[in-house]
Amino acid sequence: MTHARKRVLLLLPCLAAAILLLFSGPLVADSGGDKSRPATARPQDTSQYVGSDACMACHEDVFKKWETTPHYKTTLDTRGGPAKQGCEACHGAGAEHVAGGGDKTKITLFKELRTRQVTEKCQSCHQYGVEHSNFNRTAHSNNDVSCISCHSVHKAREAQFLLVKAQPELCYSCHLDKKAEFNKPFRHRVNEGLVKCTECHNQHGGFLTAQLRATNAQDTTCFKCHVEKAGPFVFEHAPVKTEGCVACHTPHGSTNPRLLKRSQINLLCLECHTLSSDIASPPPAGPAHNQTQKYQACTLCHVTVHGSNHSAVFFK
Ligand code: HEC
Ligand code: HEC
Ligand code: HEC
Ligand code: HEC
Ligand code: HEC
Ligand code: HEC
Ligand code: HEC
Ligand code: HEC
Ligand code: HEC
Ligand code: HEC
Q: Can you give the length of the chain in residues?
A: 316
Sign of CA dihedral 135, 137, 139, 141: positive
Structure confidence by residue, pLDDT tens digits, 33-44: 334 444 444 555
What's CA 40's distance to the chain center, in Å?
A: 22
pLDDT above 80 (res 13): no
Q: Would you say the CB of residue 62 lies under 6 angstroms from ligand 2? A: no
Alpha-carbon distances of 202 from 97, 132, 209, 262, rounded to whole Å? 38, 9, 11, 28
The string of pLDDT tens digits covering residues 243-299 is: 889 999 999 999 999 999 999 999 999 999 887 655 445 554 556 677 666 777 899
Site to probe by mutation for ligand 10, drawn from 289, 300, 303 as the one with most ligand atoms within 8 Å of Cβ, is 289
pLDDT level of residue 130 (50, 70, 90 thresholds)? confident
Domain that holds residue 289: 214-301
Q: What is the pLDDT of residue 281?
A: 52
Residue 278 forms part of a structural domain: yes
In a domain, 275, yes or no: yes
Residues in contact with ligand 7 (CB, 6 Å cut-off): 188-189, 194-195, 199-200, 218, 221-222, 224-226, 245, 249, 251, 258-259
What local confidence, expressed as pLDDT, does residue 288 receive? 65
What is the C-alpha to C-alpha distance for residues 225 and 220, in angstroms, rounded to an integer? 9
Distance 299 CA to ligand 10 centre (A): 9
Residues 6+ apart with CB under 8 A from 73: none
Tell me if 181 CB under 6 Å of ligand 3.
Answer: no
pTM of the model: 0.89
Instruction: Give me the pLDDT at residue 234, please.
Output: 96
* Shortest-distance Cα residue to atom 32 of ligand 7: 251
* Cα–ligand 3 centroid distance for 131 (angstroms): 9
Q: With beta carbons less than 8 A apart as the criterion, state whether 232 and 222 touch.
A: no
pLDDT for 209 beyond 60: yes
The pLDDT tens digits of the residues spanning 64-104 come to 999 999 999 999 999 989 999 999 999 999 999 999 999 99
- Residue 90 falls inside a structural domain: no
Quote the CA–CA distance of 268 and 262 in Å, as a whole number.
6
Mean pLDDT of the chain: 83
Rounded CA separation 202/116 (Å): 19
| Residue 240 in domain | yes
Neighbours of 227 (CB within 10 A): 8
User: What integer pLDDT is reported at residue 14 of this predicted model?
Assistant: 43
Tell me if 244 is assigned to some domain.
yes
Read off the pLDDT of residues 305-315 as tens digits, 9 standing for 90 and up: 999 999 999 99
310 lies in a domain?
A: no
pLDDT at res. 241: 86
Atom 34, ligand 10: which residue's CA is nearest?
298
- DSSP string over 78-94: -TT-GGGSHHHHHH---
With respect to residue 237, please indicate whether it lies within any of the assigned structural domains. Answer: yes
Give pLDDT tens digits for 149-160.
999 999 999 989
Q: If you take atom 24 of ligand 9, which residue's CA is the nearest one?
A: 313
Q: Total structural domains in the chain?
A: 1
Backbone angles phi, psi at 260, to 5 degrees: -75, 155
Does residue 224 sit within a domain?
yes
Nearest CA to 122 among 154, 89, 144, 149? Answer: 89
pLDDT of residue 178: 96
DSSP state of 260: B
In the structure, what pLDDT confidence band is assigned to residue 227 with cuts at 50, 70 and 90? confident
Q: Which ligand 10 atom is the nearest neighbour of the CA of 312?
A: 18
Mean local confidence (pLDDT), 194-202: 93
Rg (CA), the chain: 29
β-partners of residue 184 are: none
In terms of Cβ atoms closer than 10 Å to its own Cβ (0-12, 13-18, 19+), residue 19 is exposed
Of residues 223 and 207, more confidently modeled: 223
* Of the ranges 10-19, 65-74, 121-130, the best mean pLDDT one: 65-74
Contact 204, 119 (CB under 8 A): no
**Ligand 4 atom 2 nearest Cα:** 125
